[in-house]
Structure 1
Amino acid sequence: MSNRLANLKRLATSGIVASGLLAALAGPGLAQEQVQKGGTLSVIVQPEPPILVLGLNQQGPTQTVAGKIYEGLLRYDHDLQPMPGLAESWDVSADGLSYGFKLRRNAQWHDGTPFTAKDVVFSATKFLPEVHPRARANFSHVESVEAPDDYTVVFKLKQPFPAFIKAFEVSTAPIMPAHIYEGTDYKQNPKNATPIGTGPFKFDKWVKGSNIHLVRNDKYYLEGKPYLDDIYFRVIPDAASRALALETGEVDISQYNDVEPFDVQRLKALPHLTMTTKGYEFVAPLSWIELNTREAPLNDKRFRQALMYGLDRQFIRDRIWFGLGRVATGPVNSVTPNYEADVAKYAYDPDKAKALLDEMGLKPGSGGTRAEITLTPMPYGETWARAAEYIKQSWSKIGVKVNLASTDVAGWVQKVSNWDYQATNNFVYQYGDPSLGVARTYTTENIRKGVMFSNTMGYSNPELDALFAKAAVENDPAKRAGQLGQAQKILVDDVPVIWLLEMEFPTFVNKRVHNAVTTAIGTSENFADVWVEKKK
């Protein structure tokens, strides 16, 4: 292996094949293990996905299941470096305008139809731009997508877009079967009920409210894989019941918000479970308190800065999230490329907060109240409710009265997306690059009423817009880093949101399960490498 690796390193500059082979050697699942084939895996999925066609819905629960059915051209390691997926190798031109992919020659769809470049061209030019908001934005940079032969695809860009290499993960750009969807109404296609992908597992049955069953794809293109016979995804709405299912061994894996933070230490102590916070590097979740900057006094950055100083975010991390995560310093998660650490800091300082409110002319009135706002908490479980209560108490100490307005999930989405709120807590994903997952939250062009996870705060700064626009197309890494660093400094001064935590989700895995978390999307991966020890 060492001689082969040395030869490939020598060839790495010679073209498309070497780049992919080197990535393959660096990929997961290469350790020589005593793999046991067969067996059933049981995974929590919560809430129940609305649909399993990943091109039509990219919510976390959908990807948890459908990430085993569908695949993207690339996968990404924990350092966000690309690895082979449906593309076995790739090449990027020196000017950043051409991305070439060599495709797997032995991949096929679950119905037996061969996978070819036609599927990639269809997905990138027709299906995804129509129904996938994130892919639409990414592929808007593309001038053309060509297929010189059945197993080669070349993307020509209008101008450099360095983040483009991160745009091929399975949730960001799932490859869809052209023979099933071409010429149809994608959202109404009857095949949506029985999804067909190229992944290591095939759809078998969905018992609504109970479980989703996937079975082994015996014709998967990686010889001998997957190792598992099948996977059951268990729908368990109640958090206490999910924790109990892990304790008893009824389920093998949890992820994301499945386990409330206050249950983490107890479950970590159980001898049959392991816990990791790895596997979320690609999404790099960041939580915050979002502020509707259209309304006074939230339209004054001094008020927003006062709210920042008036919150002990270390307490929130230690006592409400029980040590999960890191206190955020700004809009970019520190695990994401081009993170800027040299920004203004907002340590907990109620006196500074009061001084800023005094400067605004907001003097204490009856009961010490200077201003009053409404906080609509995100209805995602008990921990978020506790955070809202703490925020209310903290801001009351600087003279800002907070009224809590409870909603259900649908009502919350309706209010926030239509700007019918003053403050709410939320978290979003960064997708491996600020141009993909950060800029969308703050640029003026993305103020889109009715669209969740856009610039729902109504924040607008032309200087910031220009920096994000330049960084998106800057091919010089040093210049781009400078532009993104300056953008972060502007945002931290303007405080359009109150950044809370770089979130770390606990993933619990039964010790009999191997290779559950091997890439930057963790348990959303395809599980081709996962195997289980037989129960004794």
Structure 2
Amino acid sequence: MKCNIVRRALVQGLLAAAAITAFPAGAAAPASPSGAQPQYGGVLTAILNPEPPNLNVAMQQVGTTQMVAGKIYESLLTYSFDLKPQPSLAASWDISPDQLTYTFHLQPNAQWHDGKPFTSADVVFTYTKILANTPRTRSLMRYIQDITAPDDHTVVFRLKERYSAFLYAFDIGGGVILPKHLYDVDTPLAQNPHNNAPVGTGPFKFKRWERGSYIELVKNEHYWKEGRPYLDGITYRVIPDAASRRLALEQRTVQQAWLQDIEPFDIPRVSKLAHINATQKGYEYWSTLHWIEMNEARKPMDDKRFRQAVMYAIDREFIAKRIMFGMGTVSTGPFHRNTRFYDANIKQYPYDPKKAIALLDEMGLKPDAKGVRVKLGLIPNPYGEMQRRIAEYTKQSLGKVGIVIDIENTDVGGWTTRMGNWDFDMAYNGVFQYGDPAIGVSRTYISSNIKKGLAFTNTSQYRNPKVDELFDQAATAPTDEERQRLYTEVQKILAEDVPLAWIDDTNYSTFLDKRVHDAITTGLGAVDTYADAWMEPK
């Protein structure tokens, strides 16, 4: 009963004014989340597209890096389908009455894949020396006074002030723990050889990476979770071609596809395959929102009338229905509809090219003899053919109102580098919202997160002091009611300013061969550890 009360309080923001232990240390896991009898053995083969730049999730936040690294590395917590914090490398945790001190009790038997013991020193080092400089965790570190390790299996986070989203910040993307003995070295982080040959604490160990072909992981025989993993390994096959990805799933040479692996027009066909299970569970924590970044350091993107015109000029309903085939729903603003404190009652931008033209005329962007008002570059999201078609449609739509677009193609590494370095006019992006707006939404809009060289920050360079103030207040507000009021106000301001052109809230599916069981067991879905996943023999 105590466990359930605490979990509810964490989600509702109504923590009792007393020190609380959220989960009992050493609690036994069920034999199988599905209740079926699991079997040992088998290698799960999954699609990998596109191939990630590297496997250090502290450096790379792209989805494919997180998916592979999530089997090798771990974080302190994971999250249930209803976004309640669950144990991972932290077996349990206590919260002080003033909600300023969080004490994590670590798994006592965890060790790194090279046999070195996992200790609290690894956690302190990772947060203070590595994650403090990353796009995701920089926002969290603003609220942290210090991080200490009273003993090898205890870590204490002391906050400067209450941070209502604190326990939502410990997923693998924002809270990956790296081995101190391999990263506390003179080699610069970006050049560390373990970025591409990772050593973690997770249920699977890195074996090899054949660039352009596959990444092979094998079972960690000394995993801290007793009896896990069930699988002998996981192989991620790089399959760039969409038709080949579908065919591999149909012919059962792969057993998993996720995110945008399957083209939208193929989804009805794949979903009907007798040997495939399709699920939309496992995306609750991510809640990806697609948008067009507009570099506000360049004209005419620095004028909100231009940004509003872009919103009016694009038929986002057409994109959602005719290009994404239901994999997306038209965005209503800066919060994905699955994100906490979402409010749809804000200014909307229905498809209306005449309004777009009127705004451009008002700005003085008159068309020349060829109907051209301005020429700009657009970098597509490099995640498959669907994103290419969305970029082409965007080019056509904006061209009709006199905004001539040059599509600039690049790979994942080039895409993140160019956005991080502000080397773009416009660029498509897909960003995870991570369950709570203080973690996944504010980072895109607050001016303190304008940092050149880091993708997935405020790369549009939008600045509004009132927005900064509201996000700060909402992050520390004591009740959900107060947070809702503040987040509603910030959504209304952003809807007027249009820092980005919000396109769609995603509705992704994961496709698994029916031989695979208990793979998707948390709100992190295919990114989580797969410690419980198992396969029936052929």
* 2:84 partner amino acid: Q
- Pairing 1:375–2:375 present: no
Cα deviation for residue 361 of structure 1 reads: 5.0
Aligned with residue 526 of structure 2, among 520, 523, 526: 523
Provide the C-alpha distance between the structure 2 equivalents of 1:192 and 1:340, rounded to a whole number of angstroms.
40
2:218 is aligned with 1:215: yes
73, 87, 90: which one aligns with 2:90: 87
For 1:416 and 1:226, the matched residues in 2 are separated by: 38
**Given that residues 107 and 220 in structure 1 are in contact (C-alpha distance below 8 angstroms), is that contact kept between their aligned partners in structure 2?**
yes
User: Which AA in structure 1 matches 2:43?
Assistant: T
CA contact (8 A) 1:24 1:84 kept: no
In the alignment, is residue 76 of structure 1 matched against residue 79 of structure 2?
yes
CA contact (8 A) 1:127 1:186 kept: no
Q: How does 1:284-323 map to 2 (within 5 A)?
A: 284-323=287-326
- Is the 1:16–1:89 Cα contact (8 Å) retained in structure 2? no
| Offset at residue 180 of structure 1 (A) | 3.4
**Which sits farther off after the overlay, 18-27 or 437-446?**
18-27
User: Which aligned pairs between 1:98-497 and structure 2 lie closer than 5 A?
Assistant: 98-129=101-132, 132-185=134-187, 187=189, 188-192=191-195, 194-361=197-364, 366=369, 372-397=375-400, 399-409=401-411, 412-497=415-500
- Seen in structure 2, the aligned counterparts of structure 1 residues 301 and 207 have a Cα distance that, compared at 3 Å, is closer
Conserved in 1, the CA contact under 8 Å of 2:319 and 2:390?
Answer: yes
- In the TM superposition, residue 527 of structure 1 has moved relative to its aligned partner by 0.4
Distance 1:507 1:156, change over 3 A: same
Pair 420,35 (structure 1): closer, same or farther in 2 beyond 3 Å: closer
CA contact (8 A) 1:145 1:156 kept: yes
Contact 1:375–1:423 (Cα < 8 Å) also in 2: yes
Q: Which amino acid aligns with 1:345?
A: Q
Offset of residue 380 of structure 1: 3.4
Cα deviation for residue 252 of structure 1 reads: 0.5
CA positional deviation for 1:470? 2.2
Contact 1:45 1:64 in 2 (8 A): no
CA deviations over 1:385-411 (Å, ceiling 9, x no partner) = 2212222332344x3232223232355
> Is the contact made by 2:212 and 2:238 (CA closer than 8 Å) also made in structure 1?
yes
Mark the CA change 1:375 to 1:21 in structure 2 (over 3 Å): closer, same or farther: same
Count of residue pairs the alignment pairs up: 528
Aligned-residue RMSD, C-alpha:
2.8
Structure 1 residue 493: Cα displacement: 0.8
Give distance in 1, aligned partners of 2:443 and 2:2. Answer: 42
Distance 1:473 1:143 in 2: 15
Structure 2 alignment gaps of length 5 or more: 8-15
The 1:93/1:263 distance shift into structure 2, 3 A limit, reads same
Q: 2:399·2:405 contact (CA, 8 Å) conserved in 1?
A: no
Structure 2 Cα separation of the partners of residues 238 and 55 of structure 1: 28
Do 2:73 and 2:172's aligned partners in 1 also have CA atoms closer than 8 Å? yes
What letter corresponds to residue 180 of structure 2 in structure 1? A
Cα deviation code 1:369-396 (max 9, x no counterpart): 5555443433433222221222233234
Instruction: Tell me how far apart the structure 2 counterparts of residues 263 and 223 of structure 1 sit (CA, whole Å).
Output: 40
Greater Cα shift, 459-468 or 472-481: 472-481
Shift of 1:499: 0.5
Q: Partners of 1:418 and 1:18 in 2: how far apart?
A: 43
Tell me, which stretches of 5 or more residues in structure 1 are unaligned?
Answer: 1-5
State the identity as a percent. 48
Residues 135 and 454, structure 2, Cα contact 8 Å, conserved in 1: no
Deviation at 1:417, TM superposition (A): 3.6
Cα distance between partner residues in 2 of 1:194 and 1:240: 30
2:375/2:406 contact within 8 Å kept = no
CA contact (8 A) 2:367 2:402 kept: no
TM-score (normalizing by structure 1): 0.90
Matched-pair contact (CA < 8 Å) for 2:136–2:443: no
Q: Which secondary structure does the structure 2 equivalent of 1:483 belong to?
A: helix
Distance 2:47 2:512 in 1: 11
